Structure 1
Amino acid sequence: MIVRPFKALRPTKDMVSKIAAKPYDVVTEEQAREVAKNNPYTFYKVSRPEINFEHSADTHDPKVLETGRKHLEWLKEQGFMFVEDKPAFYIYQQQWRDHVQTGIFATFSVDEYIENKIKKHELTRKDKEDERALHVKVVKAHTGPVFLMYKSQPEIDHLIMKHATGEPEYDYTDESGVRHIVWVLKDENEINKIAEAFKNVEAFYIADGHHRAAAAVRAAIDFRNENPNYTGEEEFNYFLAALFPHNQLKILDYNRVVKDLNGNSEEEFIKKVSEKFDVTPIDGVYKPESKHTIGMYLNKKWYKLVPKTGTYDENDVIASLDVSILQNNLLAPILGIENPRTDKRIDFVGGILGIEELIRLVDSGSFKVAFAMYPTSIDDLLKVSDEGKIMPPKSTWFEPKLKSGIVVHLI
């Protein structure tokens, strides 16, 4: 596999905490606007250029995207960001609560994505691909890193970890309590050792950022069509990502809340659920403790749900996921939610918000019932990807998230 150094456009030390921002797709337009009110340097002005307008603007409009490019140029012109003098790898460590993960910012091959050597587990939406591909083309940069992982190999892990020492280039803690530390690696011998080691790796896996990856590839194909004599070395043939060993990553639960019981009384609903699950009332709060345990919160009461024998095929990696078991045995047949991607009666709550958010949503009357899930495992995700299958929607919530704006890949 190809892991390629690049000359990043990146903030000066004193500006990184002001510029860096969450991924564009985990904040709403209003949240991004709120940050920008107090912070004129925020990278949201690049990644969410609609906030550069007083009212909502069409993110498919090149004129809107052009303001993102101009903000990036302004950050560079004012000396808040600069271009690295030579190609580098950027060792990236995140510390959150008791969790630490150490990886590498680099660029990755569009062709290896096309050849499915960079494996996916999620469907992408064409409209979102269109928007982000246009963003790449207008801004002429990959502004948000794709989140990649590889199956851990001690010798490769060590090659990266040995550079996560000494005085870092960046070291700051963000508004979510995540500490971001970056070391810049420019030594050509050390860069070559890392690049050579990865050549023996069979595949990379997308953990998060499927739309960012697909959009980078779409933009690259357009650039190639516009430049038929391309050599393959142009920057548009590679996209920005952060790569981590799989055994350092953390998936949180991705929970569900539903607005009504589909015409059932609470008694009827629990009776129907009991046909497919062993239902146990719980005193106090219940958080699933293992795979194939699901928490249900209804009318200020918690229940433990355990799927009965025969409700799923343990040998089918997709069917045996807890999110599939819930969907196939409860959400679809009892609550009538056939397509959770499009049904307005269901919403999804990332585990970062905690069980308390499920209780709040139901107790507020906004939703009738909540389901607390046990996190999907990294091993299940790798297996799904290796089998070329697709995870059900909202199966994984990786935390901590990668920051955008720490390094930018210019095209």
Structure 2
Amino acid sequence: MAKIKPFKAVRPTRDKVALVSSKSYETYPEDELNAKLAFNPFTFLHVVNPGYKYHKQDVTGEQRFKLVHNRYLEFKENEVFTEEETPSLYVYQKITNSHSFSGIIAATSTEDYHNDVIKIHERTLRKRELLFENYLKNTGFNAEPVLLTYPENTTVKSIIDKYKTQRAEYEFTSNDKDLHLLWVVKDQDDINALTNAFEQIDTLYIADGHHRTTSSCILAKNLAKENPNHNGTEDYNFFMSYLLSDDQLSIYEFNRFIKDLNGLSPDEFLMELDAYFRIENRGQELYKPKEKHHFSMYLKGEFYALYLRKSAYEFTDELSELDAEILFKTVLKPILGIDDIRNDSKIIYSQNKSDGLELKTKVDSGDFKVSFGMLPTSIDEIKTIVDKGLVMPPKTTYIEPKLRSALTIYEILK
């Protein structure tokens, strides 16, 4: 039984929402970030980059977190933000040039995470968990929802479709040409219908936002210990999520780029690969896999197709059948000497939403010796692995939609 809760969102006034909302801070190149800070006084980037006000870009740690909180208060005091009068849910639709996503923004339960109702598919780093927990404690809010997915539900869909026929509270196009629409669900019957519908859903899966989820749960546990009157209904027991049916997700693969061949020459490397793969040299032909257990590789100016020799590899569980895991067990670890694929500086990852030409250009630049591509992981593979209690390797999936910051804000601490 999944628990969702309406909340009084703090959100931009209707006339300023297009100026306030932003992509995640980390996604902006430095020149674009500086331009937005210089020419848009309403962008939420001023809140998360508070040192700009004092011409100091090197403010870090707890000092930065406290300044984030101060900038947030200024936005509220200056009426850039307003708070919802009654606890509400929110229908949010994002339309890109190729996809349309429609889901519900709600507060979701940290208890559901601990009870395995909300499930992970990717491991988190303890250092980042604690850093973001400290960030949440000092700032007191969630500005970007976690992306959770669930099996399609007719009740949820019907309510979303009903609101989409009405005039949206927000309707604007961002600079990346995506259209954003948001409806406020205040009607108590609709809120009850949605909360009851999610109570009938056994499992929610984290599609994006593992660190934010885990950090929210750590904070909730710590605050519960500090609160002698804790009863489980406090705002800190919840975190903001965007709930999207799994048939709407867009899933892309990550390419792998390796900086050296672990002391091997290209010919020696190919000979090592031969133990696990049938290898075809495709020359300058851009090869993209069309089946599971097939891989593309670019090495020394040429593309290769790699087909797994199943007689040389043992499938022991659902995780072992995942292409990212196969590549790690047959190539990255035994041949290239990469044991820690999360932290080893010899490997980088890049999401692949285009034609795969990046496999060639990054290697041709001289920064990398070899690159690998594979098929995207399906939602069914993700759910099967998660339901078995297994965890996928890092950078296995690049999942869309990517969500904007500050369309709605959930205050953890007031």
Structure 1 alignment gaps of length 5 or more? none
What is the deviation of 1:277? 1.0
Deviations 1:152-195 (A, max 9, x none): 23333333333222221222232333322211111111111111
Alpha-carbon spacing, 1:178–1:294, altered in 2? closer, same or farther (3 Å): farther
Which TM-score applies when normalising by structure 2? Answer: 0.93
Distance in 1, Cα, partners of 2:323 & 2:388: 18
1:379: Cα distance to partner? 0.8
Q: Is the 8 A contact 1:258 1:368 kept in 2?
A: yes
Q: Aligned equivalents of 1:128 and 1:226: distance in 2?
A: 22
Residue 324 of structure 2 corresponds to 323
* Aligned counterpart, 2:199: 199
- Write the distance in 2 (CA, Å) between the matches of 1:113 and 1:30: 38
- DSSP-derived class of the 2:4 partner: coil
Instruction: Name the CA distance, whole Å, in 2 between partners of 1:130 and 1:30.
Output: 30
Aligned-residue offset at 1:105 = 0.4
Counterpart residue number, 2:68: 68
For the Cα contact (< 8 Å) 2:50–2:67, is it kept in 1? Answer: yes
The 5 Å alignment of 1:255-334 reads: 255-282=255-282, 283-314=284-315, 316-334=317-335
Paired with 2:334 and 2:162, the residues of 1 have a C-alpha distance of 53
Whether the 8 Å contact between 1:92 and 1:104 is mirrored in structure 2 is yes
Pairwise CA distance, 1:324: 0.7
Taking structure 1 as reference, are residues 10 and 229 closer, same or farther at Cα in structure 2, changes over 3 Å only? Answer: same
What is the alpha-carbon distance in structure 2 between the residues aligned to residue 206 and residue 83 of structure 1? 27
* Matched residue, 1:120: 120
Secondary structure of 2:321 counterpart: coil
Distance in 2 between residues matched to 1:199 and 1:122, nearest whole Å: 25
Query: 1:145-224 alignment to 2 at 5 Å?
Result: 145-224=145-224
The verdict on how the C-alpha distance between 1:48 and 1:319 changes in structure 2, with shifts beyond 3 A counting, is: farther
Residue 385 of structure 1: aligned partner: 386
Q: What residue number does 2:406 align with?
A: 405
Percent identity at matched positions? 35
CA distance, structure 1, for counterparts of residue 59 and residue 131 of structure 2: 10
Q: Distance in 2 between matches of 1:49 and 1:397?
A: 29
Match in the other structure for 1:79: 79
Q: Distance in 2 between matches of 1:52 and 1:105?
A: 31
Change (3 A) 1:28 1:123: farther
SS of the equivalent of 1:221 reads helix
Please tell me whether the aligned partners of residues 155 and 194 of structure 2 are also in contact (alpha carbons under 8 angstroms): no
- The separation in 2 between residues aligned to 1:72 and 1:41, in whole angstroms, is 11
Q: Measure how far apart 1:52 and its partner are.
A: 5.8
SS of the residue corresponding to residue 303 of structure 2 reads strand
The CA deviation string for residues 202-221 of structure 1, in whole angstroms up to 9 with x for no partner, is 11111110110111111212
Structure 1 segments, 4+ long, off by >4 Å, are 24-34, 48-56
User: Would you say the 8 A contact 1:178–1:400 is kept in 2?
Assistant: no
1:288·1:374 contact (CA, 8 Å) conserved in 2? Answer: yes
User: How far is the alpha carbon of 1:373 from its aligned partner?
Assistant: 1.9
Partners of 1:50 and 1:390 lie apart in 2 by 38
CA offset at residue 311 of structure 1? 4.0
Would you say how many aligned residue pairs link Structure 1 and Structure 2?
Answer: 410
Q: Distance in 1 between matches of 2:38 and 2:291?
A: 43
What is the root-mean-square deviation in Å for CA atoms of aligned residues? 2.0
Q: For the structure 1 residues 262 and 144, does the alpha-carbon distance in structure 2 shift closer, same or farther, using more than 3 Å as the test?
A: same
Q: For residues 79-113 of structure 1, give each alpha carbon's deviation from its aligned partner in whole angstroms, at most 9, with x where no partner exists.
A: 21110111111111122222122111000111111
Cα deviation digits, residues 15-52 of structure 1 (max 9, x gap): 22222122345457776445423333322333455666
- The answer to whether 1:254 aligns with 2:244 is no
Q: Assess, with a 3 A threshold, how the Cα gap between structure 1 residues 173 and 129 changes in structure 2: closer, same or farther.
A: same
Q: Are 1:279 and 1:304, in contact at CA under 8 Å, matched by a contact in 2? A: yes
Compute the displacement of 1:367 (Å).
1.0
